[in-house]
Amino acid sequence: MSWSKLKQQLEGFLSPSLEGRVEYRAPAYRYAPDKSGTCYITVDKKNILSMTDKSSPIRWYSSELEVKNDPELHISVTHEDIEAVRLTAKGPIPEDRLIIMARSRLTTEHAKAIMLAQTALTKSNFIVVANKFLVTPIEESLESSDIVLNILALMDRRVGRKRIEGMSVKMQRKHPAVEYFYDLRRGAR
């Protein structure tokens, strides 16, 4: 499918509150074979999610350690997470230490997921993922670990206000780019 047709279909699925504000762009460079071009999502005419440029306003991480040490990262620990640590531990462990161990485990898993998701953001991958989005049920796109699928699903008109409001806890464990577009959709009226 050509880029213009794909763009038209993607923008046709935008929530009415985001129409005219969000736009998909992919300029190609025909005579520069070493440059694949850029693919980005703009909000209010500003490049927000660039698939190749790390200078976007969204936080990008260069290592798992950088994710773990991010002071803005808030991982909530559930009772099930604590029990999982308790089951794998040998011997009694104080409750406050169990919470620290569970948070550390979740932070490590989250860091690995973020680093894996960031590696997939190139122009060709965006086009592949966008085509996949068009044929995938919206529930699968929302539950996916792919950043672009999550973003496209969050901005989709098939996802209603109540569903968006009910996803706040789940969004805490997503990439900052997904959180940005979640906040954008949540704040759009």
In terms of domains, do 53 and 129 share one?
yes
In terms of domains, do 36 and 75 share one?
no
Residues in the chain: 189
pTM beyond cutoff 0.85: no
Mean pLDDT calculated for residue range 73-96: 85
35-74 per-position pLDDT tens digit: 554 567 888 988 887 765 555 666 667 777 787 888 877 7
88-110 per-position pLDDT tens digit: 887 788 888 888 888 888 888 88
Q: Which of 117, 141, 158 is the last residue of a domain?
A: 117
E strands present in 6-136: 22-25, 40-43, 46-50
Domain that holds residue 39: 3-59+121-187
How many domains are there within the chain?
Answer: 2
Q: Are 22 and 42 in contact (CB under 8 A)?
A: yes
Q: Is the pLDDT of residue 134 over 80?
A: yes
